[in-house]
Each structure stands twice: as C-alpha cells, then as structure tokens.
Amino acid sequence: MDSPVKLQILDLLREEPRSFDEIVKYTSKAKSTVSVHLNNLRSCELVEERVDPEDRRRKIYSLTSYYMGCSQKPVFEHYNSLLEKVAGNGMVDRSYFMEALFHTLRFGFEAYGIDNAPVVKMIGNDVGRRLAPTFEARAPEELLKEIGVFLESHWKCRVSVSGTEPVSFRVENPFKAESLPVIGKPFCAFNEGLIEGILREKLGQEYRVRETECYGTGHGHCLFEITL
C-alpha cells in the first residue's frame, strides 16, 4: 500500500465496519477521493461493501480478513538488549527468564521487520476467552477486580482499577520498568487481548481494551482503558 489514504481507511476499518460518511470524516478527504480509494481496495479484495439494513441509501464498508501485522523498519537495538537480559539475570532467576523470553520473542519479530502486535492481541483474546470460565464474578465491577488480582499473581505487578467512563487498569510492573525500552508506542498487546477476552466471554458484551500509556511510551506504568 503506497497510499496514505488507503492506509488510513484500512486502519479505521480494523476497529469495526464504517459508513462512507464516517470514512470521509476520518480521512478529511473529498468524497470523490475516498470513493476512488474504496473502489481500489474493493478491487484488491481487501474491503467489501454492503447496504446498511437500517438505511438502504447508506453503504457500509468492512475488512474482508483479519488484520495480521505489517512490515516495518527493523530495530535490532531493543532486541539485542533483551537477548543480553535473557543470558544475564535469566540464568539465575527462572521467572525473570520466562518473562524476558516472552518479550524477546515479541521484539524479535519486530527486529526482523514484522509488527506482530495484532496477532499477539488476538492470541491474548483467545487465551482470555478460555480462562473466563475460571473467574467467579459476574458483575463488571467485581470481575475487573478479580482480573486485577489475577494479573498481580501471574505477572508480579501491582494493579489498580479506577474511573467509570472509561474504566482504566493501571499496571505497575518492576520487570518492564527495569528491562524494556522506550520505543514511542505501547507494547502490551497480549494483555490488551487477555483482559478483553475475559470480559467479552464472561459478560457477553463487546468490551474493548486499549493501552494508552505504557513503559514503551515513557510512562512509569501501563494504563489500559476499557470501553463498551
């Protein structure tokens, strides 16, 4: 994709199907320009068009497949740093080794030019759905607290839940604070998917979880916003 507008459209449709007018507003382009790009994406079989059942004059556009990842400029610096940690402290601390190894795999893909965050989030979602039956709470507030306890016990972190719209999970993790680099973007895609999968499966509603602050963005914690 050599067109920034096409990439904007695909990025928007990753979240959910959108109407033509929503796409025009998001891209800030003329309707004729958006129409040309949508027709091109349809011809490539990346986007499909359907009529809105509630208003037959309106067209709805959606992706034809899951967004799996993208190629990007390889960054070996962060990857090599993690490899050193695996071979250093990881040799004497089993839990440190396992967590360092997890992040080495995550950044290893990126080091070789592949952004695997979308796949990692989907896997986290799958794991969350399988774990959901083991959680006892049925009310949203209580389930969020139970998820917090689960994360604390399994990731050696401190979790606090706050807010109402949106609810947020603040996670402080000593390992990430010590070992993971500031890369200018969040990198906890697995936990995004894990929390989302548990909520969706247990409560039967389409919750969305998005990491807005992270050690990777230079913050001293990870912050996950949860919306319905």
- Is it true that the peptide bond before 166 is cis, omega within 30 degrees of 0? yes
Mind listing the pLDDT tens digit for each residue in 10-41?
888 987 899 999 999 999 999 999 999 999 99
CB atoms inside a 10 Å sphere around CB 30: 10
How many helices (H) and strands (E) the chain has is answered by: 9, 9
Mind listing the pLDDT tens digit for each residue in 184-211?
888 899 999 999 999 999 999 989 999 9
pTM exceeds 0.85, yes or no: no
